[in-house]
Structure 1
Amino acid sequence: MTNILIVDDDIHILNLIRIHLSEQGYQVFQAKDGMAALEILQKQPCDLAVVDVMMPFMDGFTLTKEIRRRYSIPVILLTAKNQIEDKEQGFEAGTDDYLVKPFEPKELCFRIKALLRRYDKQPQESLLQIGNTRINKKSYEVTIADRTILLPLKEFELLYFLMANPMRVFTRDHLIQQVWGFDYDGDVRTVDVHIKRLRERLLPYTDDFQIKTVRGVGYSLEAKRE
């Protein structure tokens, strides 16, 4: 059975989500604040977390960062605000998706299903390697030979996804969904900016792979042929 953690200080929201997710066959665990949520995660493995932004003791942004640091599970942030600054802060904290209150429980359910499918397709190992280049999802470090590089969060997640799926071509929209989440409403050209920065950061240190532009389609990571 799939375990879902719901974190919200509003008991009505907790009950509403619990009822709908239980009807979908999920096992639901509830917490009223971030501290309680971390205690649950220490005792009970969960497959996904739905986290409210505004909570006492530890807000949703901080909790998301802690979940991302300790566990490899998707996170959906809930918020009563629809400001672009709040969305930006959420994605910088590491959330996979973003839902603004009030929302339809049915929409939350299909977003959960989409994220679970996405994570199921990704490799379970936290360490990927191509040539002398290693990327560690637990420590968020990229190591090239004996040099360690720390990348901004979205650049790291973009590189990790491409390295996990070498020789495959992805559209900008697909990369946006995988790295920024389904609710991202910025310009898809942000992918171009992040790819450009990745190339600039990595080019001086490795030729183990190239992130190639596939004209009219998107991008592909191609490993160096021996």
Structure 2
Amino acid sequence: MPRILLIDDDAQLGEPLDAYCRRFGFEVTQATRPSEGLARLRAGGFDAVILDVMLPEQDGFAVCRTIRAESDVPVVMLTARGEVTDRVVGLELGADDYLPKPFEPRELVARLATVLRRPRSVPADARLRFDGLAIDPVARSVEREGTPVELTGTEFELLLLLAREPGRVFTRDDILNRLRGHDAELYTRAVDIVVSRLRRKLEPLAAIKTLRNAGYALSLRPLPHA
């Protein structure tokens, strides 16, 4: 049974959430203070973290930063009123997903199940390999069926973003938030243009799929990384 660590100062939340999650095969343990939560996480045995933004001692963003410096355990952040700024900051710090308060427990369970299915522990500099495609983050090179592919900086960053989490759907806003630091001129409509150029350069591979009204995802099958 996956063990979930809840870091939230609402002492009334943990017990009923644990009772609900056990119906879906998850066990929830609560820590009401960040120091307690980090100590429990460092002791090991947890498969994911539910992390509130509003906490005593330090806010959830600082806790998320600490967790990411020490672990790749999946983190779902709870954000007040679903504030866009909170969501963006949390994702930039390495959170895997977010959920606005108040939340429906069933939605939280669904999000936990999703992040737990994602592959973990791939080093940032690891060569990424897929059916017909190889990406070297260090050399910033791409090979399509053994042939080098010339990409612009933004095209490479977009491909790398999709390849680090194959199958995950990235919205245009996700892509903008992740890549704007690499291309200050990137804007929402430009995302579609960059995707279109990248898709053509990777042909005949059907590497990038479009999900209508949702976003983009890498559709190639991952191979063991080198």
| TM-score, normalised by the number of residues in structure 1 | 0.63
Distance (Å, rounded) in 2 between the aligned partners of 1:31 and 1:156: 37
Per the TM alignment, residue 190 of structure 1 is displaced from its structure 2 partner at its CA by: 5.4
Map Cα deviations across residues 118-155 of structure 1 (whole Å, 9 max, x no partner): x2xx2543251269x865xxxxxxx449xxxxxxxxx9
Residue identity in the other structure for 2:198: T
Per the TM alignment, residue 76 of structure 1 is displaced from its structure 2 partner at its CA by: 0.9
From 168, 191, 205, the counterpart of 2:175: 191
Per the TM alignment, residue 11 of structure 1 is displaced from its structure 2 partner at its CA by: 0.9
Identify the residue that residue 159 of structure 1 maps to in structure 2: 160
Identify the residue that residue 92 of structure 2 maps to in structure 1: 92
Taking the TM superposition and a 5 Å limit, the aligned residue runs for 1:43-192 are 43-117=43-117, 119=118, 122=119, 124-126=121-123, 127-129=125-127, 135=137, 143-144=138-139, 159=160, 161-162=162-163, 174-176=169-171, 188=172, 191=175
Structure 1 runs (4+) deviating above 3 angstroms are: 155-158, 192-200, 215-222
Distance (Å, rounded) in 1 between the aligned partners of 2:158 and 2:75: 14
Distance (Å, rounded) in 2 between the aligned partners of 1:80 and 1:192: 23
Distance (Å, rounded) in 1 between the aligned partners of 2:40 and 2:177: 38
Q: 1:68 and 1:156, CA in 2 relative to 1: closer, same or farther beyond 3 A?
A: farther
2:92–2:178 contact (8 Å) kept in structure 1: no
Distance (Å, rounded) in 1 between the aligned partners of 2:41 and 2:159: 26
Taking the TM superposition and a 5 Å limit, the aligned residue runs for 1:14-25 are 14-25=14-25
Identify the residue that residue 213 of structure 1 maps to in structure 2: 198
Residue identity in the other structure for 2:163: L
Structure 1 segments unaligned to the other structure (5+ residues): 136-142, 146-154, 177-187, 201-210
1:34–1:58 contact (8 Å) kept in structure 2: yes
Per the TM alignment, residue 23 of structure 1 is displaced from its structure 2 partner at its CA by: 2.5
Distance (Å, rounded) in 2 between the aligned partners of 1:90 and 1:48: 15
Q: 1:134 and 1:41, CA in 2 relative to 1: closer, same or farther beyond 3 A?
A: farther
Identify the residue that residue 188 of structure 2 maps to in structure 1: none
